Structure 1
Amino acid sequence: MAQAIAPGRRSSLDSLADSSINSPTSPASPYSPSASISVLDSSSALVLLSNQDDQDSFDFSSDEEQEEHDPQLEIVKLVIPPLPATTVFLYLLAPYLRLGAILVPTGIFPLKFGLLHLFVAAALSLFSRNLWFLLARYLRKSTAEEIFLEIVAKGISRAKRRRRERIRRLLLCVTGLFRILLASMYLCASVNAVYPLLLAALPVQTRLITTLVSSLLISVVSLPKSLADKQVICTTWLSIILYTASLVAVLYNHTTGTAMPSPTLLQRGVLWNDTTSIAFSFATSLTVPLSASLAGRPSAPSNKTGRGTYFQMLSILSTIFAIILILPSMLMASSRNVPGTFSDTRNIIVHVLGASSLLLAIPSVLVSIPPLPVPLAVRRVCKLDVSKVTLIFVVVLLSLAPPSMATILNDLTLFLALTGTYFLPAWAHIIIHYFRRPISIVIPHSVPNTPQTIHTPSPPPSPDPLLQRKEKLLQRRRLGRRVLWDVGVWLLLLPISLFGTVWAGGRLFRKW
């Protein structure tokens, strides 16, 4: 009989983070090759109890458990191959400096309210990224889809594997749809920024020709299948450089007194306003696979706490850099008086640089889209990447949508981006840590040394006071951190996310 220490939602996990039981090579670890006899032969009084629901649902064997947590196999399962810290920082920073950053200066908010919304959106985005990272580390998952599959389909047994597979495919379809809509919106905004400049030279079908030429350019650099490809990395770096160059050009125009126009980059629907545009500028994705790719590097810190600090530091730096690069354009927009014209050469340079930055941001989005299930017979006949060609065709087709349909697609893109960034990580955190059975630490009264002595009755000694003091000390140290995360999650979910959802529903139904 064992006496259990009632853990908090995260206290058991946090205790294991500093204990040798969490090491895959420890004899007391359930992930070691000798997991089946570790409880009997180990002299440690700490025992990790895996979730009984998982064992009943999926009936994993010890060999499957060992394979699942093999470091080499985990690297193979990564969606993004192991990346250096500079590349992870690049992909954490790049989503902040795209269409949302260009739309922020076009708002009509007073400066003090605009700055408040900017810093609040940046803080919430950073908080949400940390939530994704902690959930991925807690559940040992490498994608957001796997995290939601753990939440939605956790109780589905092996006999209902088809239903679980359908749910997984549905999640992948939603993720792919969002990235397709995002890429098409970037392409449409890029074309809208430059095609008025070409009306004099190409008065007939200017938009169609500009879109086709732009799609040919991005298709060349979107053929790689991984974000670790040097071609995609260089394109993303170039996108950030061009955005910075456009910011420098705007600063120069502002100091010389050249007025800048406020172009309409996209057809905004009912959900687009100053607040949602700022929130959209800090919408992110790929947080979970990027953290997994950083942890999968052989040169990364082996300590789990060290890896977490390393990724969180990169996330904080990317957010700070984004604020530094977005803030000047907002400050200049507040002092803009007379709108300028497109015919000014300086304004032409600014719009060409901004359009090029958006265009070069598309390849990283296209590469991250899950591939389409192409039949084997088609792949054998066609040497081209049919999945990638089809995705590019769909993106180009959606970017050419008429204005009435474009507003609906842009509203859907905004809703998916804000929901995935701010609401879903908070909802997943609450489900996992409030409605799921946590990992438990128990202190057995006796730990027999041999299997033969299992049924031998013996008087139960008192629990080890040293282990009890250690558990209480760890809980006390992490109490403030747990309270901070819980308060942040509930504030993120209620009232911000819930209020935003209600407001979006009212806007869609024309209630306000």
Structure 2
Amino acid sequence: MPDLEAPSSSSPLTRPDPLSLVIDDDDDQRPLVTYSGRPSHRSSPSSDSPVYESAVDPTTPLILAHNDDDDDEEEEEDRDAERPLALDFSSSDEDNDDLDDSLSPLYQINGKLSIPPLPPFTIFVYLLSPYLKLGALLLPYYQLPLKYGLSGLLISAVVAVVARHLLYLLSRYLRKADLEDVVSHTFVSTKKRGRKGERRREFFKFLVRFGTAALRVLLTVVYLHECVHFALPLIMPVAPLRQSSTELGLAMGAIVLALLLSYPGSLASRVVVYSTNLSVFTYLLWLVAVTYLYTQGTLPINPERLNSRSIWEGLITTAFIFTSSNTLPLYASTKGTIQSLLFDAETSLTLPTSGTTPSTGNSRRDGSLKQPLYRSFKFLSLLSIAMAVGLTLPLVGFAAFPNNTPSAPASGTGIQTYVTPALASLTLLLAVPQLLITIPTFPAATLAILATYYFPAILHILDHTFKSPLSIILPSTYFSSSFSVQPTPSTTIMNLPTPGPSSGLGVNAGDILLQRKERALQKRQMRRRIVWDIWAWVIFFGGFVVLGAKARILGSV
């Protein structure tokens, strides 16, 4: 048995080598955990086992040793996690400034669009067409100074751009595709839920639909009226007795033709698209004809507009050029076109993982999609207004420097008499389908019921409750025979008739009988009034009962 030598106290203490333990996990490799031993005051059992001594020493500290390869992998994973996906559209402020160029699925088209998804060129034509109509056709016939005409045109164009962009921003902020939803959301708080809040929203939606319908109906009537007015010179001069019948015939023909063009009932139909494009084309031809007449000195001047109010009327006409009412429906149509390409299951355009669709746009640096410029509603809106300014700017010069003494040469007679009025009339007539088709629809049955049952009751209540009753007028002979007037130095005293014997009172027996008949007639009329008032109030409050029952039935369903 070998002898065990005890270590001397003078022998130097050596630090053992660290013990490295590698812990493997199923998913990833953990950092290396190293046990580092301290200088031990005890002598090891054997000089060949320092590792064992450091491993079993309870005072041994733990040291975390980082692995550079694992750190690189973790940093790469963190960067991948922070990097947005191909279609991760956030709602930060930077993205909100350019949401129109990002195909954001946040803006979803709910319900049926008033204007179906259309190609960008068709949307551009629908944006441009209202600017090249009645206001532009009437502008050269006003004697408007250049400083007023040019400034009015530019200011109206800028205000139109700002107003249209405000509607666009509001629609994008509220994520609403129609003006009805925007107005109802503005005037009714989102906190008001339930039947009461829904009734208020429906009320404001009805007001918007009614106002929009009234505006477009009035524009249609004005367009047809001016269309007939421009078309009258095309017909040979007729006798004054036959002029009204001629105007009526032209009006009926224009109405029938406008209804035939509007029969498809959709702005996506080829008939309506072609008619709108043709309307823009006829305006361009009209502008060429008017320019030719102006250069030849034969542009006519309307004598009805040569008055002191021509400046104000010219400014109103200039502002009327840039009026339109299809901003939000056309914007929704643009978004609907993009979403139909990207999110419709029936289309063949599928979004790859890279977030790039060749037919719709390119990928941004952050991975989101960027649509082409021609699909941007902001670009189409700005381009339409800029083109409208360019196409109406010559008319401002014609109005500022009119042909005061037109010479009317032979070459310009045909253009002045036939070509210019015909083109102006066609321009207005071909623009009517765009107005008629976009008129909101109303429930005919509901309106008929309200007009038949509810409207007379409301008129009865307003007339007999909130207005003073009509006076009963008696003949003057009644006062002369019934009243005795006694003049005095200071005033005149009138003795009213009293019932009783007629002697000494100035009242005849016939007057008393007339008063009794009048009282009896008034009593009978009062009884009838009370009965009909009850019926009117029953119908009035019955309407609210019917509305409540309707809401309850729809709520239960």
Q: Same fold (TM over 0.5)?
A: yes
CA distance in 1, matches of 2:378, 2:95: 20
CA distance in 2, matches of 1:270, 1:333: 11
In the alignment, which residue of structure 1 is the partner of 2:254? 214
Q: Please point out which of 76, 95, 117 is paired with 2:130.
A: 95
CA distance in 2, matches of 1:263, 1:197: 20
Q: Structure 1 pair 106/253, CA: closer, same or farther in 2 (3 Å)? A: closer
CA distance in 2, matches of 1:169, 1:75: 18
Task: Say if 2:422 is the partner of 1:352.
Answer: yes
In the alignment, which residue of structure 2 is the partner of 1:107? 142
In the alignment, which residue of structure 2 is the partner of 1:159? 195
Q: Aligned-residue CA RMSD in angstroms?
A: 3.4
1:52-91 correspondence runs (5 A): 71=108, 74=109, 77-91=112-126
Task: Measure how far apart 1:175 and its partner are.
Answer: 0.8
Is the contact made by 1:295 and 1:307 (CA closer than 8 Å) also made in structure 2? no
In the alignment, which residue of structure 2 is the partner of 1:246? 286
- Per the normalisation by structure 2, the TM-score is 0.52
Q: Structure 1 pair 220/227, CA: closer, same or farther in 2 (3 Å)? A: same
Q: Tell me how many residue pairs correspond in the alignment.
A: 318
Is the contact made by 1:261 and 1:339 (CA closer than 8 Å) also made in structure 2? no
Moved more, 330-339 or 359-368: 330-339
Is the contact made by 2:209 and 2:440 (CA closer than 8 Å) also made in structure 1? yes
CA distance in 1, matches of 2:311, 2:177: 32
In the alignment, which residue of structure 2 is the partner of 1:330? 396
SS at match of 1:248: helix
Q: 1:346 is aligned with what amino acid?
A: I
Q: Can you list the C-alpha shifts for 1:215-269, whole angstroms capped at 9, x where unaligned? A: 111110011222111111111111111111011011111222323233769xxx9
SS at match of 2:257: helix
In the alignment, which residue of structure 2 is the partner of 1:372? 442
Is the contact made by 2:227 and 2:429 (CA closer than 8 Å) also made in structure 1? yes
Task: Measure how far apart 1:186 and its partner are.
Answer: 0.7
Q: Structure 1 pair 339/293, CA: closer, same or farther in 2 (3 Å)? A: farther
SS at match of 2:432: helix
In the alignment, which residue of structure 1 is the partner of 2:93? 14
CA distance in 2, matches of 1:373, 1:339: 56
In the alignment, which residue of structure 1 is the partner of 2:481? none
CA distance in 2, matches of 1:318, 1:76: 28
Q: Can you list the C-alpha shifts for 1:193-216, whole angstroms capped at 9, x where unaligned? A: 222443625545121111001111
Structure 2 residues without counterparts, runs of 5 or longer? 1-89, 342-358, 363-367, 449-557
In the alignment, which residue of structure 2 is the partner of 1:178? 215
In the alignment, which residue of structure 1 is the partner of 2:160? 125
Q: Percent identity?
A: 35
Q: Please point out which of 170, 178, 195 is paired with 1:135.
A: 170
Q: Can you list the C-alpha shifts for 1:272-324, whole angstroms capped at 9, x where unaligned? A: 71222111111122111111111121265596875898111111111111111
Q: Please point out which of 128, 135, 147 is paired with 2:182.
A: 147
Q: Please point out which of 239, 257, 273 is paired with 2:313.
A: 273
Q: Can you list the C-alpha shifts for 1:319-362, whole angstroms capped at 9, x where unaligned? A: 11111111112212322233658993221211111111011111
Is the contact made by 2:110 and 2:177 (CA closer than 8 Å) also made in structure 1? no
SS at match of 2:376: helix
Greater Rg by CA = 2
Task: Say if 2:433 is the partner of 1:363.
Answer: yes
Is the contact made by 2:132 and 2:283 (CA closer than 8 Å) also made in structure 1? yes
Q: Please point out which of 259, 262, 270 is paired with 2:299.
A: 259
Q: Structure 1 pair 304/367, CA: closer, same or farther in 2 (3 Å)? A: farther
Q: Can you list the C-alpha shifts for 1:156-177, whole angstroms capped at 9, x where unaligned? A: 3222122321221121111111
Q: 2:93 is aligned with what amino acid?
A: D
Task: Measure how far apart 1:87 and its partner are.
Answer: 0.7
Q: 2:413 is aligned with what amino acid?
A: D
- Per the normalisation by structure 1, the TM-score is 0.56
